[in-house]
A and B are shown apart, each in its own frame.
Chain A
Amino acid sequence: MAKDEFTEFKLVGTRPDRPDGLDKVTGRARYGADMSMPGMLWAAVVRSPHAHARILRIDTSKAEALEGVKAVVTRADFPEGLTGEEWNLQENTIAGDKALYDGHAVAAVAATSALLAQDAARLIEVDYEVLPHVIDVDDAIKPDAPAIRPGAADATVPEGMPANVVRYIDFGHGDVDAGFAEADLVMERSYKTEATHQGYIEPHACVGQLGADGKGEMWVCTQGQWYIRKMCADVLGLETAQLRVTPSEIGGGFGGKTTIFMEPLSLALSRKAGGRPVKLVMTRSEVLRATGPTASASMDVKIGMTKDGTITAARAEFRMQGGAFPGAPVDMALYCAFAPYKLKNVHHIGYDVLANRPKCAAYRAPGSPMGAFAVESLVDEMSRELGLDPLDVRLTNGVREGDRASYGPTFGSIGLIETLEATKAHPNLLVPLGPNQGRGIAAGYWFNHSGETSVSMAISEDGSAQVSVGTPDIGGSRASIALMVAETLGIPYEDVRVNVVETGSLGVNEPTHGSRATFASGKAAVVATGQAIKEMCRRAAAEWGIDEDAVEWVNGAAQPAGPNAGKFPPLTIREIAGKMGETGGPISGHHEGLPEGVGASFGCHVVDVEVDPETGHTTILRYLVVQDAGRAIHPSYVEGQYQGGAVQGIGWALNEEYIYGEDGRLQNAIFLDYRVPVASDLPMIDTVIVEVPNPGHPFGVRGVGETGITPPLPAIANAIQDATGLRMTHLPMTPPKVLAALKAAGRG
């Protein structure tokens, strides 16, 4: 459904400048590290140089003796007795008995300057007993691997599994063996993806302040101020409401800023330093070593297909490590892996495995890119084998509304088929390819999410409107929410200001995660705006002396609803607002809850590559993202999400990876060697916004932030196969790997 068919909106679907744009381009926007306070101290963190080591002794005396040092904390300054994820968070914030990965925090110090704090950190002596470590997921799952945390397995893990398996997943439907027996072609392959980092430009930063009375404040770069509040309170044993958390502008998060890493350290230091505020800013190397990358994965997939491309059965077994803590997104990876396909017979098995690496955090559609890499690679290979068009195979098997999803539920309104058809119609597919060039396509999926949401809005004295949301604006959500509220009120976009507020201003909000801000905060804002409109209609009715129900809201004004209601000239929002003091006081709206009606989003990517047969270097020539947005409230920011997802996927596919030495230390903890794509690596990413409106949202919104990172990994592998004939099954597909494969195949 093309966007132009919708003409009923004045603002939704237009592309005004973002309200935060001027501040951002002029450097006025305040990011995490921009906050400073009177009397503030600076913190530095001592980190383990070992992947796995028992902490025998920590001597902080020399650091404490240094002039200017105001506080030192170790695990001894944190409460005992935590369990479950609360313990995990505390343990990851600061190591207890053992350091569990290279970069694990062991102690922290606050001093009167950043340099002094760093000097003091170097004076803290830690004695370690180095223990055997394990990094790779396939090594970690071996029965003789070093046991990282005996007893960490949950109830899902059957008796007798290797020590580092902490969660076991097994689900599916139908009879896969019978399904494979019906197939004309059955193929089975193994795939691996390496851990990658979200790579946000802004390192973690916060200022924390905590008094002896347990009252505190924090200013922090985060995707979710309530999560920060709850997690800090849990880790420090505080009462949640006594902590007030204000989010800064955010220089990228991609899921990595939905949790805590070092924030409680600043509060613990502040409390020990008599309540002086403590600023803690990570270096890039700390970000890479000690904040959440995504999981690495080892995956086996088996698919059966008939000659016409119908999938008869599918089976996946995924093993993922998410660091030294449970939580690798193996469940999500499995749920999404076959989501684009209508399957009678499917079976999924998953293992969440511990390894001596940093605790993984969410990264854009957590798990889905890995699953897509495995499944979409195999579907592509089988389509080639059977001489079928890979897009047609996806259309043949593609899920539609009412179909049972591979992971169980029944799909509501979805736009996979429309997305595939829009892809098929795109001119990029007609561009002729030259020597060493190839084209790959792949589909991808993300559920999207709603979650706890609380939004308030209020009309100002001059008829402008303010909206208070709890979801930090990462991708343009303030612009989108302002458009929806302005559209609903019938006032100009510029007359609406959307504020991202601190924890004291609203009920609990989940972070900006799960592509939920424009869906959930947007939906709540529209409902809240409806309440304000109702109130304005009521006041107009009172002024006119007519029944409230006889007033309607049109183009930013109350007017009698038809000739029988009476003949009065419309009362504009400005007129009503100007008199609010005499007509009943403030006019506002508030909505909270768990907004229902989340709309899932499918995407399809087409990439053209050229592989240098002499060096194995892959150049991205052309890249197309087609994705269902439900409705694009602000098309530029939707396109930005599509492009950003594609680019992060390109990095993951080609060059990004966590590289460890034999000693278990991360070797590439700088952006020179952790190679995200640079602008000159990329063509303009072409986008097509498909709009199959989500009936669960007043304007039809589906989340759009995450699906875009799911197809690139397989799409690029598929294009490399098209260009070279080589099937790359282990990411990243770096030049050395591709060249070695070319040589092994007798080419290159």
Chain B
Amino acid sequence: MRYHTPSTFEDAARLAAEASGITRFLAGGTDVLVQMRAGAVIPDDLIDLKKIPGVSEIAQTEEGGWRIGIAVPGARLGAHAGLCADWPGVVEGMELVGSTQVQGRATLTGNLCNGSPAADSVPGLVAAGATVEISGPSGLRSAPVEDIPAGPGKTTLQPGEVISAILLPPRGTAGGDAYQRFIPRTEMDIAVVGCAISLTLDGNSIASARVALGAVAPTVLLVPEAAAAITGTTLDDDALAALTTAVEAACTPISDKRGTAEFRTEVAGVLARRVAKIAYARAKGAEA
């Protein structure tokens, strides 16, 4: 195994493009190192991105959104007042990852690129309308977060492509987001179902919404039908019922040791209702 410590994303991308065997980037390492120690994935090239300047920073963009470095660990997100005020749903998704120890290392980017359908921070990012900045052989490009996962353990990133930042749009006024997952225990577990919703209000009525589901399909899903079901409503019982129907219709889960397909579908609807209410309350100004 070759271990690299590039100091720019261009170098990182070049190293990855030139590598022929199994290649992994090292952000927090809470997936990569665990997989290595279990003998599941032993990379030929391990490209550590943490030596690249700026990767551990959280910065406000000119438009009022946020640029999050690829090595920012969950614990830092949770301690960042501005980010927590704007995007509590994104932060709470990331904060559910692992334990205190894991939080000191694990990153949003790693969670996204590990490609798990159950990744806890990804629905929040998708609901928020986050994008990623990608460095690659042909320079920089940008893509919506929902376009990155391609299936369990797979992404749409091309060989030689590396994510250089995560970008959250400006929250604006009267917006709120939230994430919840279902696990049989209370922590240290993998989401059986996850749901994130971000919405904006016009008075009491929902002006726009994005609904994302985790662990009910091969990738995290953005469900426009579910968003449509609550847009223009005040989240009354009819809207919640329509949301449930749209969410259940979008689910194509598997039955496995973590839960049956019926259970996942049913609970996706339950979580969507609960999460929508929290996001709505937050948009109304409730504390996260």
> Which residues from B are CB-within-8-Å of A615?
182, 267, 270
> Do B184 and A680 have beta carbons less than 8 Å apart?
no
A654 at the interface (CB under 8 A from B): yes
> Which residues from B are CB-within-8-Å of A734?
184
A425 at the interface (CB under 8 A from B): no
CB-CB under 8 A for A681 and B257, given A118-B39, A615-B267, A740-B262: no
> Do B184 and A655 have beta carbons less than 8 Å apart?
yes
- The chain B residue with its CB closest to the CB of A115 is B39
Question: When the two chains form the complex, which single residue of B186, B263, B266 contacts A680, counting CB atoms closer than 8 Å?
Answer: B186
> Which residues from B are CB-within-8-Å of A655?
184-185
> Which residues from A are CB-within-8-Å of B39?
118
Number of A-B contacts (CB under 8 A): 53
A677 at the interface (CB under 8 A from B): yes
B57 at the interface (CB under 8 A from A): no
> Which residues from A are CB-within-8-Å of B189?
672, 675
A36 at the interface (CB under 8 A from B): no
> Which residues from A are CB-within-8-Å of B170?
none
> Which residues from B are CB-within-8-Å of A668?
257
A430 at the interface (CB under 8 A from B): no
> Do A672 and B190 have beta carbons less than 8 Å apart?
yes
* Interface positions of A from 86 to 114, Cβ below 8 Å from B: none
B258 at the interface (CB under 8 A from A): yes
- CA of A668 to CA of B259, assembled, Å: 13
Question: When the two chains form the complex, which single residue of B186, B258, B262 contacts A673, counting CB atoms closer than 8 Å?
Answer: B258
> Which residues from B are CB-within-8-Å of A614?
267, 270
Min CB gap B144→A, angstroms = 30
> Do A675 and B185 have beta carbons less than 8 Å apart?
yes
B252 at the interface (CB under 8 A from A): no
A678 at the interface (CB under 8 A from B): yes
CB-CB under 8 A for A735 and B190, given A615-B267, A667-B257: no
How many A residues face the partner with a CB closer than 8 A?
Answer: 23
CB-CB under 8 A for A654 and B186, given A614-B270, A739-B266, A740-B262: no
- CA of A342 to CA of B167, assembled, Å: 71
> Which residues from B are CB-within-8-Å of A681?
185-186
CB-CB under 8 A for A677 and B185, given A736-B260, A740-B262: yes
A617 at the interface (CB under 8 A from B): yes
Min CB gap A245→B, angstroms = 31
CB-CB under 8 A for A735 and B257, given A654-B184, A675-B184, A675-B185: no
B286 at the interface (CB under 8 A from A): no
- CA of A736 to CA of B263, assembled, Å: 6
- CA of A677 to CA of B259, assembled, Å: 17
B79 at the interface (CB under 8 A from A): no
> Do A678 and B187 have beta carbons less than 8 Å apart?
yes
Question: When the two chains form the complex, which single residue of A659, A680, A735, A740 contacts B187, counting CB atoms closer than 8 Å?
Answer: A680
Question: When the two chains form the complex, which single residue of A667, A735, A740 contacts B184, counting CB atoms closer than 8 Å?
Answer: A735
> Do A617 and B270 have beta carbons less than 8 Å apart?
no
B-contact 0/1 string along A587-627, CB 8 Å cutoff? 00000000000000000000000000011110000000000
- CA of A739 to CA of B184, assembled, Å: 12
B81 at the interface (CB under 8 A from A): no
B-contact 0/1 string along A652-693, CB 8 Å cutoff? 001100010000000110001101011011000000000000
Question: When the two chains form the complex, which single residue of A677, A735, A740 contacts B182, counting CB atoms closer than 8 Å?
Answer: A735
Min CB gap B101→A, angstroms = 14
- CA of A736 to CA of B265, assembled, Å: 11
> Which residues from B are CB-within-8-Å of A736?
259-260, 262-263
* Interface positions of B from 180 to 200, Cβ below 8 Å from A: 182, 184-190, 192
- The chain B residue with its CB closest to the CB of A612 is B270
Residue from the set A678, A735, A736, A743 with the largest chain B CB neighbour count within 10 Å: A736
- CA of A680 to CA of B99, assembled, Å: 12
- The chain B residue with its CB closest to the CB of A285 is B38
> Which residues from B are CB-within-8-Å of A675?
184-185, 189
Min CB gap A746→B, angstroms = 15
> Which residues from A are CB-within-8-Å of B188?
672, 678
> Which residues from B are CB-within-8-Å of A743?
266
> Which residues from B are CB-within-8-Å of A672?
188-190
> Which residues from B are CB-within-8-Å of A677?
185
* Interface positions of A from 686 to 707, Cβ below 8 Å from B: none
- The chain B residue with its CB closest to the CB of A743 is B266
- CA of A677 to CA of B189, assembled, Å: 11
CB-CB under 8 A for A678 and B185, given A615-B270, A668-B257, A672-B190: yes
> Do B184 and A659 have beta carbons less than 8 Å apart?
no
- The chain B residue with its CB closest to the CB of A616 is B263
- The chain B residue with its CB closest to the CB of A614 is B270
Min CB gap B215→A, angstroms = 13
> Which residues from B are CB-within-8-Å of A680?
185-187
* Interface positions of B from 189 to 247, Cβ below 8 Å from A: 189-190, 192
- The chain B residue with its CB closest to the CB of A739 is B263
Min CB gap B251→A, angstroms = 14
- CA of A683 to CA of B88, assembled, Å: 28
CB-CB under 8 A for A740 and B263, given A673-B258, A735-B184: yes
B-contact 0/1 string along A566-583, CB 8 Å cutoff? 000000000000000000
> Which residues from B are CB-within-8-Å of A667?
256-257
> Which residues from A are CB-within-8-Å of B270?
614-615
> Which residues from A are CB-within-8-Å of B190?
672-673
- CA of A118 to CA of B266, assembled, Å: 44
Min CB gap B90→A, angstroms = 23
- CA of A382 to CA of B39, assembled, Å: 53
> Do A735 and B263 have beta carbons less than 8 Å apart?
yes
> Which residues from A are CB-within-8-Å of B182?
615, 617, 735
> Do A673 and B257 have beta carbons less than 8 Å apart?
yes
A-contact 0/1 string along B61-84, CB 8 Å cutoff? 000000000000000000000000
- CA of A655 to CA of B192, assembled, Å: 14
- CA of A4 to CA of B267, assembled, Å: 51
- CA of A277 to CA of B270, assembled, Å: 57
Min CB gap A27→B, angstroms = 16
Min CB gap B260→A, angstroms = 5
> Which residues from B are CB-within-8-Å of A739?
263, 266-267
> Which residues from A are CB-within-8-Å of B184?
617, 654-655, 675, 734-735
- CA of A614 to CA of B268, assembled, Å: 11
> Which residues from A are CB-within-8-Å of B267?
614-615, 735, 739
Residue from the set A668, A680, A735 with the largest chain B CB neighbour count within 10 Å: A735
Residue from the set A659, A667, A677, A739 with the largest chain B CB neighbour count within 10 Å: A739
> Which residues from A are CB-within-8-Å of B192?
735
Min CB gap B131→A, angstroms = 31
> Do B257 and A678 have beta carbons less than 8 Å apart?
no
> Which residues from B are CB-within-8-Å of A118?
39
> Which residues from A are CB-within-8-Å of B187?
678, 680
* Interface positions of A from 306 to 336, Cβ below 8 Å from B: none
- The chain B residue with its CB closest to the CB of A674 is B257
- CA of A660 to CA of B79, assembled, Å: 42
- CA of A675 to CA of B257, assembled, Å: 11
> Which residues from B are CB-within-8-Å of A740?
260, 262-263
> Which residues from B are CB-within-8-Å of A673?
190, 257-258
- The chain A residue with its CB closest to the CB of B267 is A615
- The chain B residue with its CB closest to the CB of A736 is B263
> Which residues from A are CB-within-8-Å of B185?
655, 675, 677-678, 680-681
- CA of A617 to CA of B266, assembled, Å: 13
- The chain A residue with its CB closest to the CB of B256 is A667
Min CB gap A121→B, angstroms = 11
- CA of A659 to CA of B260, assembled, Å: 13
User: What are 5 sample pairs from A and B whose C-beta atoms fall under 8 A apart?
Assistant: A615-B267, A617-B182, A736-B259, A736-B263, A740-B262
Given contacts A677-B185, A735-B184, 10 further A-B contacts (CB under 8 A): A614-B270, A617-B182, A617-B184, A654-B184, A672-B188, A673-B257, A678-B188, A735-B192, A740-B260, A743-B266
Q: Which residues of A contact B (CB under 8 A)?
A: 118, 614-617, 654-655, 659, 667-668, 672-673, 675, 677-678, 680-681, 734-736, 739-740, 743
7 tightest Cβ-Cβ pairs between the two chains A and B: A736-B263, A680-B186, A614-B270, A659-B257, A667-B257, A681-B186, A736-B260
